[in-house]
Amino acid sequence: MDRRSLLKTGGAAVVLATGGGVWRAYEQGVFSVGRGPAYEPWSDWQSGPAEGPLALVRAAILAASPHNTQPWLFRVTSSRIELSLDTGRNVGALDPYLREAHIGMGCALENLILASAAAGYAATATLFPGKLGPIPAEQKPESVARVDLVPGEPRESEVYAAIPRRHTNRSPYDPKRPVPPDLVDSLRRLTADVPDVRLFLFAGEAERQEIVRVSSAANGELYSNPEIKHDNDLWVRTDWSALQKYRDGLTIDSFGLPPVATAMAKMAPTSMLRRVVARAQIEGYSRLIGSAPLIGIIAVRDRYDREQSLRAGRLWQHAHLLATARGLAGRPCNEAVELVDHERRLGTEPRHLGLLAKITGDAAWQPTFVFYMGYPMLQGRPSPRRPVRDVVVGSDPKT
């Protein structure tokens, strides 16, 4: 945090510092943004006792995941890393087929591949086929991919170097600064050799406003559903000590609020804060999306195909890293696709299938991930991360 932001935050704490307010500010991490054990993986991702393939997991755990559930588990040997989805780490009714969880696994896989190249490995990824279904009653790990490693020449890249700086940025973006054409071209080329995945990009005012309208309406519909709201709230960490303990979920620091508003939100009673969070998830959402000069839709041939979901996740992670490397930010706005899942689960009219097909102009491609990009007005904050020791389920002693 810079000095000016710190002074502003401190000022907010003083204003609210009545009857033990200063102590609550300390307790709630007002003066500790991005600090503590929950944030250490962001700074020590290239250091630590782990060597060989086990060290690559430090990069993998910095990937994006739905609601920061971090659903990944890794089995590591001297020449192989197997990725499994922990089906118990889900957002319930918001992701009833674990489609977004699989996209998160693809994000971790992309970080793993990039770190493997930088560490001097030639990595080959094998995606395990399968169809996505309802969240299983017996929530146990499911193997989704394997990375085989052989010695090679170290190859770093701008996207690899951006791994510790990539954060979901929920602040407004600068609508007057378009995304550079060379970045747009680079994004378009990302799917050149990727089977069954396509990237649609929208920079025109009219097409972006249509996506804003559909996404904002879907957002309001989703979070007015009591079941979805309940499952969402389980992953919102409003208590600083719980955040440091569980090291996952959505945090106040990552909501994209100005420093003063962040400090005041942290000091608010939990019951009041949850009402504020719920209101913020609906109000002003269209303004946030509309501030971005570029909106993208990642589409696949089959939304519920495991391999295609993993590839979509790899694409999003790479695109987000590329934007980060070029000084931009990104954020998912996936509510319309989440409503496709919701309508399918309830067996109701698939309205959002048609709305999304109208936007892309090609019903043969099924949208599975929507995002926006631009130059952020505020710095993105890191999210908590579980340590490597909590996500490795087995390893070869030689690693």
The pLDDT score that the predictor gives to residue 285 is 87
pLDDT at 356 over 70: yes
Instruction: Give percent above pLDDT 70 in the chain.
Output: 86
Predicted local distance difference test score (pLDDT) of residue 274: 59
pLDDT score recorded for residue 18: 46
- Confidence at residue 396, expressed as pLDDT on a 0 to 100 scale: 62
Question: Any idea where the domains of the chain sit in the sequence?
Answer: 38-163+385-395
pTM of the model: 0.91
pLDDT band for position 1 (50/70/90)?
A: very low
More confident residue, 346 or 21: 346
Contact 266, 25 (CB under 8 A): yes
| pLDDT reading at 157 higher than 70 | yes
- What does the DSSP assignment read for 51-112? -THHHHHHHHTTS--GGG---EEEEE-SSEEEEEEETTS--GGGSTTSHHHHHHHHHHHHHH
Phi-psi bin for 92: left (phi > 0), alpha (psi -120 to 50), beta? left
Q: Report which of residues 312 and 270 the model is more confident about.
A: 312
pLDDT, tens only, 315-347: 999 999 999 999 999 999 999 999 999 999 999
Q: How many Cβ atoms from other residues are within 10 Å of residue 301's Cβ? A: 13
Q: Which residues contact 291 (CB under 8 A, 6 or more apart)?
A: 172, 173, 174, 175, 374, 377
CATH superfamily of 38-163+385-395: putative nitroreductase (tm1586), domain 2 (3.40.109.30)
pLDDT reported for residue 179: 98
Residue 17 confidence (pLDDT): 44
3 state SS of 290: helix
Spatial separation of the C-alpha atoms in residues 199 and 367, rounded to whole Å? 9
Task: Please give the pLDDT value at position 5.
Answer: 39
CA distance 145 to 126: 6
**High-pLDDT (> 90) share of the chain, %:** 76
CA angle 211/381/38 to nearest 5° reads: 125
**Residue whose C-alpha is closest to residue 51's, from 121, 114, 104, 144:** 121
Structure tokens that stand for 363 in this block: 């019903």
Backbone Cα Rg of the chain: 20
The CA–CA distances, whole Å, from 310 to 103, 170, 210, 332 equal 5, 24, 28, 16
Check whether 77 has a pLDDT greater than 70: yes
The contacts of residue 230 (CB under 8 Å, 6+ apart) are 92
Higher pLDDT, 15 or 220: 220
Q: How confident is the model at residue 51 (pLDDT cuts 50, 70, 90)?
A: confident
Q: Other C-beta atoms within 10 Å of 41: how many? A: 21
* Overall average pLDDT of the 250-257 stretch: 86
* Averaged pLDDT, 384-399: 81
Q: How confident is the model at residue 238 (pLDDT cuts 50, 70, 90)?
A: confident
